[in-house]
Amino acid sequence: MQYRVLLIEGNRMMLERLTAVIRDTKDFELAGRYQKAGDALKQGGVFHPNLILLDAEVESNVALIPEFGKAFPSVPVLCMNTRWNAENASHLVQAGAQGYLLKPFTRIELKEAVDTFAKGNMGASSCLIAFFSPKGKSGKTTLIANLALSLAAKTGDSVGIIDADLQFSDMSVFFNLAPQSTIVEAVRDVHFLSPVTLKPYYMPVTDRVSVLCGTKKPEYAEMVETKKFADVLAMSRNLFRYLLVDLPPGFGPISIAAAESSDMTILTASLNGGFEMLQMKRALEIFHDWDDFDERVRAVFTRVSPCNEETRQQLEQIVGCRVAGIVPNEYKLVSEAADNGRMAHDISPDSPLMHSINTIADRIISSQKAV
Amino acid sequence: MESGSGVIITVFSTASAVGKTFLATNLAAVLGSAGYRVCLMDLDLQFGDVCNYLAINPEKTLFEAQRDVANDAEGFDPLPYLVDYQCKDTSITVMAAPKLLEEAYNVDTDAVVEVTRKLAKEFDYIVVDMAPAFSELNLAILDITTIVTFVGIVDFIPTIKNMKSGWDTLKMIGYDGNRIRFVLNRGGSQTRIGLDEVEQILGSPFYHILPNDFHMAQQSIKEAGPLVLLHPDTELAEGIRELTAKYTNRDSLNNTQERESSGGWLSRLFE
């Protein structure tokens, strides 16, 4: 597709710089450029732009975003700023902007921004799901990886996975990835990034599913600051319709930050015949303080036998929260998949395991429709 | 180690559900049945299961102990914070994990180390059941630990990867191979990965392999007692006794020499 860009930038030097980048970028041409948004609004129509880049550092420009929407219906508006901030970005989205990029930008960043945002509204309705478990080996990573593929296949939407199980992260092994960058680098750099420049830190596993991999060594976990981690979550919301966050077992600053940012928190436990139900109930107590506990908190149990609706309802009664799904014990399939860096979703789509995970995906999708 | 201080055996792993609590309670029981004074300490602060496994309900826990030692280290006596556990003729004492999650979240590392040191003066053995993470608390306790029992199971590749990175991290921190004892739990269970492959990846042989008897292990947990006391005739109980014997026979020089001269895998461990 050929983009005809209407560029609005108040600073003269920046205007020249961005003009040069647009002219140098393949598939992009400069249809018109303005220093004042009001002029662009009145005159720009004659150039028939199909992409608007708007300087959002000028407060009065932001107020004009709805006007651009009326004057140029179906033309995406991407806001430009020198620094990303979650609050500001959400304000721009509400005003009607499609996306966001930092200026000055490179040719690659411009193309990436259009690829990311022109296809859909940025983060306006993203759903962040934090996956927490009282104890490890709950089947959480298997669940998240396959759920991501299922959500993407069912909705056609983009799905991001963040592996925040910082010391013993597994997601890269599950997907057989050798990441160049991980959560450590994303958190380190977040204050210099925007959604567009954060995106390359994610490793694509399909055309719709990407993973921000966990640390390469346990000691790197210390480098992940909680506040900056929360910023990565907020920024990632702009990239994906569904964002699934794999958390370490137990409560710590990272898991608490992710749960607090979440639209939904799913607690997982594997039923091994020990005291998992007891520990699940203790963990759930922590979330009871939330006013919206009933809407926001779910449990998922793995290795459930017999894995049927009756059991699910019984478990729901025992733990006192909604059970989004139960997953049967399929050790052979799960281990074969993980050992070969493949997914049950792909190698055995009709298995009982995938049937359960698809049901969980359906429940998540319908809860989003309700929202 | 300062004189008069007991042996601290820490049971550690890089994953949950590998049998840490099971092994810790049973190690403590074997040591207790041999007549040693034993304290089993639950350092899986948030979701510890020692009290669940033994069906005990202590009045005081580590939370009160660490709070009080911080106020008066000099006059602190750890004994009132312990709970006795008896099964058949064997008794051990337990330092329980905090009852509430918010208490677990607010435990001071230095104070727990101090409590552990005080316990080590009162007991021959402290067996520590540890949460699977390299937390500040765990590293501080590993520093004063005599033997780290690093428990692993072989189920699938991600677990092996985490065992490897945990093992490498322990070595990086400076624990030599002699202090870390790599114990495989559920050996012989059906897996897709051979044990020799795992040993190759880790660059180290297993110090001890416990046979797989998931059923009896679960049975003993249901019966709220250590397998070694309730079902002493099982292979698994024998395996745990053998492991404990390796720990307690550390002065048996003749025995060690004999093993080394045989050129077996044990000698390679101490190269």
ipTM: 0.84
Domain region containing A63: 3-117
Same domain, A78 and A136: no
Give the pLDDT confidence of A176-193 residue by residue, as tens digits. 999 989 999 999 999 888
- Residues of chain A contacting residue B166, judged by C-beta atoms under 8 Å apart: 168, 218
What is d(CA A146, CA A149) in angstroms, rounded to the nearest whole number? Answer: 5
- Residues of B in Cβ contact (< 8 Å) with A219: 134, 169, 172
- The CA-atom distances, in angstroms, between A14 and each of A17, A60, A78, A82 are 5, 18, 16, 11
Distance between first and last Cα of chain B: 23
Identity at A289, one-letter amino acid code: D
Q: Does A38 touch chain B (CB under 8 A)?
A: no
Give the dihedral of Cα atoms A13, A19, A21, A26; nearest 10 deg.
180
CATH number for position B103: 3.40.50.300
Q: Give me the DSSP letters along chain B.
A: --TTPPEEEEEE-SSSSSSHHHHHHHHHHHHHHTT--EEEEEE-TTT--HHHHHT---SS-HHHHHHHHHH-TTT--SGGG-EEEEETTEEEEEEPPPSSHHHHHT--HHHHHHHHHHHHHH-SEEEEEE-SS--HHHHHHHHT-SEEEEEE--SSHHHHHHHHHHHHHHHHHT--TTTEEEEEEEETS--SS-HHHHHHHHTS--SEEEEP-HHHHHHHHHTTS-HHHHSTTSHHHHHHHHHHHHHHTTT-HHHHHHHHHTT-HHHHHT-
pLDDT of residue A371: 66
Provide mean pLDDT across the span A246-259: 94
B130 touches chain A (CB under 8 A): no
Give the residue with greater pLDDT, B173 vs A216. Answer: A216
In whole angstroms, what is the distance from residue B113 CA to residue B64 CA?
Answer: 14
Domain boundary among A96, A117, A138: A117
Nearest to A105 by CA among A55, A165, A174, A178: A55
- End-to-end Cα distance, chain A: 34
Instruction: Please say which residue of A92, A117, A142 terminates a domain.
Output: A117
What pairs with residue B42 in β-bridges?
A: B129
Around Cβ A66, how many Cβ atoms within 10 Å? 13
Q: How far is CA B86 from CA B22, B92, B94, B124, in A?
A: 16, 7, 11, 17
Of A94-98, A123-127, A283-287, which has the strongest mean pLDDT? A283-287
For residues A339 and B18, give the distance between their C-alpha atoms in angstroms, rounded to a whole number: 19
- Is residue A315 a part of any domain in this protein? yes
Does residue A234 surpass a pLDDT of 80? yes
**A198 and A313, same domain (yes or no):** yes
C-alpha to C-alpha distance for B41 and A250, rounded to whole angstroms: 19
Cβ A146 vs Cβ A345: under 8 Å: yes
Q: d(Cα B61, Cα A200) in Å, to the nearest integer?
A: 48
The whole-angstrom separation of Cα A194 and Cα A80 is: 10
* A122 lies in some domain: no
Length reported for chain B: 271
The reply to whether A200 falls in a domain is yes
Does a structural domain hold residue B1? no
Per the prediction, chain A carries an average pLDDT of: 92
pLDDT single digits (tens) B102-146: 999 999 999 999 999 999 999 999 999 999 999 999 999 999 999
Q: Which of B157, B10, B28 is nearest to B86 (CA)?
A: B28
Total domains present in chain B: 1
Contact B132 A217 (CB under 8 A): no
Q: Is the same domain home to A165 and A91?
A: no
Say yes or no to pLDDT of A296 above 90: yes
CATH code, domain carrying A270: 3.40.50.300
Question: What does the CA dihedral A222, A226, A232, A236 come to, rounded to 10 degrees?
Answer: 110
Q: Are residues A140 and A33 in the same domain?
A: no
3-state secondary structure string across chain A? CCEEEEEECCCHHHHHHHHHHHHHCCCEEEEEEECCHHHHHHHHHHHCCCEEEEECCCHHHHHCHHHHHHHCCCCCEEEEECCCCHHHHHHHHHHCCCEEEECCCCHHHHHHHHHHHCCCCCCCCCEEEEEECCCCCCCHHHHHHHHHHHHHHHHCCCEEEEECCCCCCCHHHHCCCCCCCCHHHHHHHHHHCCHHHHHHHCEECCCCEEEECCCCCHHHHHHCCHHHHHHHHHHHCCCCCEEEEECCCCCCHHHHHHHHHCCEEEEEEECCCCCHHHHHHHHHHHHCCCCCHHHHEEEEEECCCCCCHHHHHHHHHHHCCEEEEECCCCHHHHHHHHHCCCCHHHHCCCCHHHHHHHHHHHHHHHHHHHC
- Residue A157 scores a pLDDT above 80: yes
Whether residue B2 lies inside any domain: the answer is no
Residue B215 burial (CB count, 10 A): 11
- pTM comes to 0.85
Residues of chain A with C-beta less than 8 angstroms from the C-beta of B49? 274-275, 279
Is the domain of A89 the same as that of A159?
A: no
Confidence of residue A236 (pLDDT cuts 50, 70, 90): very high
Q: Structural domain tally of chain A?
A: 2
Taking contacts as CB-CB distances below 8 angstroms, the residues of chain A near B51 are none
For range A202-216, the mean pLDDT: 95
Q: Residue B184: inside a domain, yes or no?
A: yes
A253: buried, middle or exposed (CB in 10 Å: 19+, 13-18, 0-12)?
A: middle
Confidence (pLDDT) at A315: 96
Interval A267-277 mean pLDDT: 91
Kindly determine whether residue A218 and residue B192, on different chains, have CB atoms separated by under 8 Å. Answer: no
Please state, for a pLDDT cut of 90, what percent of chain A lies above it.
Answer: 74
Pick from A339, A340, A343 the residue to mutate for testing the B interface (most B CBs within 10 Å). Answer: A339
Tell whether A88 and A213 lie within a shared domain. no
Domain end point (choices A84, A117, A150)? A117
With an 8 Å Cβ cutoff, are B18 and A137 in contact?
yes
**How much is the pLDDT for B252?**
33
pLDDT in tens, chain B (271 residues): 444 689 999 999 988 888 999 999 999 999 999 999 999 999 999 999 999 999 999 999 999 999 999 999 999 999 999 999 999 999 999 999 999 999 999 999 999 999 999 999 999 999 999 999 999 999 999 999 999 999 988 888 888 888 888 888 888 887 776 789 999 998 777 677 778 888 888 888 899 999 999 999 999 999 999 999 999 999 999 999 999 999 987 443 233 333 333 333 333 333 3
Q: Please, is A78 exposed, middle or buried when counting C-beta atoms within 10 Å of its C-beta (0-12, 13-18, 19+)? A: buried
- Give the model's pLDDT for residue A313: 96
Lowest mean pLDDT among A6-10, A81-85, A206-210, B76-80: A81-85
Mutate to test the interface with B, among A270, A333, A335, A340 (most CBs of B within 10 A): A335
Q: Provide the residue type at B87 as one letter.
A: C
Asked if the structure places residue B178 within a domain, the reply is yes
Structural domain contains residue A150: yes
Out of B47, B158, B221, closest to residue A338 by CB:
B158
pLDDT digit string, tens, across residues A324-369:
999 999 888 988 888 888 899 999 999 999 999 999 999 999 988 7
B267 touches chain A (CB under 8 A): no
What chain B residue is nearest to A141 in terms of C-alpha separation?
B158
Any A CB within 8 A of B131 CB: yes
The answer on A187 and A301 residing in a single domain is yes
In angstroms, what CA-CA distances link A100 with A23, A160, A185? 20, 18, 21
Please check whether residues A91 and A150 belong to one and the same domain.
no
pLDDT at A338: 85
Q: Cα-flanking dihedrals φ and ψ of residue B43, to 5°?
A: -100, 10
| Distance (Å) of CA A318 to CA A7, A313, A325 | 59, 9, 14
- Rounded CA-CA distance A301/B57 in Å is 27
Tell me the one-letter amino acid at A256: I
Confidence of residue A122 (pLDDT cuts 50, 70, 90): low
Separation between Cα atoms, residue B78 and residue B65, nearest integer Å: 7
Does residue B219 lie in a domain region?
yes
Average pLDDT over residues A52-77: 92
Is there a domain that residue A112 lies in?
yes
Look up the domain containing B225 and give its range: 7-269
The whole-number pLDDT of residue B265 equals: 33
